[in-house]
Amino acid sequence: MYPRTERTTANRTRDRMSYHKAAAHAVLDEAYHCALGFTVDGEPRVLPTLHVRLRDTLYLHGSTGSRPLLAARGPAGLPVCVAVTLLDGLIYGRSQFHHSANYRSVVAHGTAHLVTDQREKAAVLTALVEKAAPGRSTDSRPPSPKELAETAVLALPLREVSVRARSGGVADDPADLDLPYWAGVVPLRLTPGPPERAAGVTAPLPAHLRPERSPWLEPVVLRGEHVVLEPLDESHAEELYAALDDEEVWRYLGSPRPTGVTELAGYVRAALADNRRGVRTPWVQRCAVTGAVVGTTSYYEPNPELRSVEIGYTQLGKPWWRSGINTEAKLLLLTRAFEELDAVRVTWQTSTLNERSQRAIERLGATREGTLRSNRRRPDGTWRQSALYSMLAEEWPNAQVKLRERLRPAVSPTA
């Protein structure tokens, strides 16, 4: 518990105040930035900056040439006030007077000092990067000596701290409850958007920048002897185009054959957008022997509530047809579905005209349930009739044995 002082004791709505360390730390840790207040030549200044909390010290990021950092060099330090606010919702009352907001805020007073110990400074800067994305400090270049010299860090011991918060709903006056106006709460929250690749970047999106999703939507890496399934990324577009550039590969699919890498990259972006919408989990297929990208596959319309998923959007370059790659890719996807996600049903759809695909699905041990009439539109505008197949959890043990038997002979993935 932080002690109450004259500066942290509220004059109004004291019921919203708190001095618990855990509550203050939670707000400071959730927020990415703060407002740093100080005085220069007797005049107030407020500087927005990044912060990170380590134990009971708040560290503030800055430049060695900024006014507050220059002022904090002396032994007396710099008197500061730091404010952090998280806006959780807007309150709409029947009366304008009772419009308000739900929020959590922290105000900290004290004297900040410049961090001069190089090990402490390096630890703080690493913590700032890790706060942006856990794991990022090991997936990026550390600062050079010159960059460290140009960066300054202020340390503010957390001793005089208060928390102020408002939660709940509308607080209209009883006399206003019958007024014909809408009243309620509009929640607000800070959520990350899809990462936007910088020009020239070819590395795939790292795991620490992928949003936390249902495991049904997470394209984890699946490894076999013939094939490796890894998360599909726009950086795969060039290799994918080379592997799939064959009319036979695209004959029965719902998308026209791409005319170049740029167009195929658009298909990849569409697949990633489907993943963000929760309707598709895309993988790229990579030959485990040569490392070459050879195709794609996906979970489609995963439904954790019904514990079902479809395997689809499978495209494999013609040189790898009837190799161990397709069989093992399906084995990996089925194993994850039934044994890791606890699915009760896995389905497939393919054109009734695509005899090769139907035979391949049947060799997996799936059962044909029937025909879905005119359920997919072809690139030429006509409607596709789809053969629907399924496999149930109780059928998986026998199917798994047969699939592993098929893979047991040393079939070369590039044969």
At residue 17, the pLDDT reads: 87
At residue 377, the pLDDT reads: 84
**Domain boundaries along the sequence of the chain:** 14-187, 213-407
At residue 402, the pLDDT reads: 92
CATH of domain 213-407: 3.40.630.30
Low-confidence ranges of the chain (pLDDT < 50): 410-415
What is the distance in angstroms between the CA of the first residue and the CA of the last residue of the chain? 69
At residue 246, the pLDDT reads: 93
The CATH superfamily of 14-187 is Electron Transport, Fmn-binding Protein; Chain A (2.30.110.10)
At residue 54, the pLDDT reads: 94
At residue 83, the pLDDT reads: 97
pTM: 0.59
